[in-house]
Amino acid sequence: MKMLINVAETVVTDALRGMAAAHPELVVDVDNRVIVRRDAPVAGKVALISGGGSGHEPLHGGFVGPGMLSAACPGEVFTSPVPDQMARAAAAVDSGAGVLFIVKNYTGDVLNFDMAAELAGDEGIQVAKVLVNDDVAVTDSLYTAGRRGTGATLFVEKIAGAAADEGQPLERVEATGRQVNENSRSFGVALSACTTPAKGSPTFDLPPGELELGIGIHGEPGRERRAMMTSGEIADFSVGAILEDMSPRNPVLVLVNGMGATPLLELYGFNAEVQRVLAERGVPVARTLVGNYVTSLDMAGASVTLCQVDEELLRLWDAPVRTAGLRWGM
């Protein structure tokens, strides 16, 4: 496989060096792998920290900045960051108002963030946690006890980030993040496997005429394989799977997310089908975001995330944000 890299061993380090050069508004500690807002700590503000394996960009480092995260900790490709990274990040961004860890539900991430919370607590830092587990496709996957954390991570980081930037206290920011997660559901589809730099070949075998329904963001198996379907058929299946698990009473935020190798031409076409299904099912749409936000290296495919919102959550979603991967209103 051809990749725009030097060697597999330095992929993450090289990316962090490039990110530092492109974004002077961030402090990128390449050696310790911590990305921090340059203005942190912000007096009186709850700090938000997230992280996970590299390969999902712009998640999480691309969401560090005003309106979202205070810091992010990238691990090796598809590998959890270590507790020392999160503890170092917490020390860098804590203003005394506390720190909220936003954790995708993968076993390594959960264990390491819990250990980091203990380390931070030993230093007198108050830590709360929101666990993101929005994926309706499967339960108890290769890397997970319970449901996987996927696209709703973006919704949690944005909405809780807006609450924190308003100066809301830790318990309210945490409650907001938990509400967003509880109101969110996701479903993903793979048209091709991803390729990790270390392996240099596809991580699983997916024949040319087939697709995987319910794929995870690390290439974990989904619900089933089928012969290739049309965009409309995939939308029917994906949105249907989500609405089997939730019955929105309020309008929803819609994220049509590319898995890394799907062009916007296809994603916007897929969004048209997602919107059709929602209209047919009587689900009103408040806002829609289309693009590559929670990716899986070079996997072709897409995921759909719906988040039921009230007026307050919608107001926080619309609040200004300025990060490398998401920005509006500033």
Contact between 300 and 308 (Cβ < 8 Å): no
Look at the block and give the residue holding tokens 């299904």: 277
d(CA 275, CA 244) in angstroms, rounded, equals 17
Q: Which residues 6+ apart lie within 8 Å of 5 measured at CB? A: 11, 14, 197
The encoded tokens of residue 20 equal 């530092």
Residues belonging to the chain: 330
37-54 core/surface letters (b: 16 or more CB in 10 A; e: else): beebbbeebbbbbbbbbb
Look at the block and give the residue holding tokens 């198996």: 221
Q: Which ranges of 133-245 does DSSP label H, i.e. alpha helix?
A: 152-165, 170-182, 231-245
d(CA 251, CA 282) in angstroms, rounded, equals 10
Catalytic residue IDs: 56, 218
Helix (H) or strand (E) holding 278: helix 264-280
d(CA 201, CA 149) in angstroms, rounded, equals 25
Q: Taking CA 134 as the corner, what is the angle to CA 131 and CA 139, rounded to the nearest 5 degrees?
A: 95
The encoded tokens of residue 10 equal 């330095």
